[in-house]
């Protein structure tokens, strides 16, 4: 394995840890993958969800992304829609498309969202990589009624977790008229 493959594998591992830390409410995992002085910023372009504009430090980032987030949402599954190798430039992963499927704890609404992640990494004291800065762009967050309480599980079972591809997601979600703006956003993003 050459250096590029090794770095891709390490960064892929960090991104998978991020997903499991956030989706499964694993604060210690999130705290570990972010640098102590890391910066997380949000660009929220939809009224369907709110986050602070900036969060500084690995502990505060972990708190917001695990404990706070999972107090509001449950059954969370976040999917990457392109491989790391298609998005990686040096020690950065830019314009990484994502999709989230989850349920509000109060009210039970199904939430379907998408956007982009931008990641920048740094070398930790033990020579491993950590997240130095992370920008989350939330382009769409749509509420979808789920009277049967079965739709969320059905959608999540149709997608490989946490890595899938944009076309699979578009084909699955295009069946739901309420998600037309989200599907259009995914279709109009440059393919990696």
- Of the listed ranges 30-34, 99-103, 164-168, 185-189, the least confidently predicted one is 185-189
Q: How far apart are CA 10 and CA 123, in angstroms?
A: 12
Domain of 176, CATH number, reads 3.10.450.50
Give yes or no for residue 66 having a pLDDT over 60: yes
The pLDDT of residue 189 is 80
Structure tokens at 122: 């740094």
Q: In 61-188, where do the E strands start and end?
A: 73-80, 88-89, 92-104, 110-123, 129-144
Query: pTM, whole model, 2 decimals?
Result: 0.94
Contact criterion met (CB below 8 Å) for 70 and 62: no
* Integer CA distances (angstroms), 26 to 17, 18, 66, 92, 100, in order: 9, 9, 6, 24, 17
Encode pLDDT of 135-159 as tens digits.
999 999 999 888 778 999 999 999 9
Contact criterion met (CB below 8 Å) for 84 and 93: yes
Encode pLDDT of 84-115 as tens digits.
877 777 788 999 999 999 999 998 899 999 99
Give yes or no for residue 175 having a pLDDT over 70: yes
Tell me how many domains the chain contains: 1
Structural domain for 183, as ranges = 3-188
Q: Which residues pair with 137 in a beta bridge?
A: 43, 116
The pLDDT of residue 119 is 95
């Amino acid at each position: 394995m050459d250096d590029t493959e090794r770095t891709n594998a390490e960064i892929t591992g960090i991104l998978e840890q991020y997903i499991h830390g956030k989706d499964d409410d694993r604060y210690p995992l999130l705290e570990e993958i972010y640098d102590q002085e890391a910066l997380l910023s949000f660009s929220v372009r939809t009224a369907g969800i709110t986050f602070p504009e900036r969060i500084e430090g690995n502990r505060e980032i972990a708190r917001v992304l695990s404990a706070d987030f999972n107090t509001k949402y449950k059954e969370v599954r976040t999917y990457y829609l392109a491989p790391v190798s298609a998005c990686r430039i040096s020690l950065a992963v830019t314009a990484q498309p994502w999709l989230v499927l989850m349920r509000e704890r109060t009210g039970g609404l199904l939430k379907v969202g998408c956007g982009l992640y931008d990641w920048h990494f740094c070398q930790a004291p033990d020579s491993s990589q950590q997240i130095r800065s992370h920008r989350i762009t939330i382009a769409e967050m749509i509420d979808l009624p789920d009277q049967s309480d079965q739709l969320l599980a059905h959608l999540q079972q149709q997608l490989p977790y946490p890595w899938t591809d944009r076309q699979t997601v578009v084909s699955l979600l295009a069946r739901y008229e309420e998600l037309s703006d989200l599907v259009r956003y995914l279709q109009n993003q440059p393919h990696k």
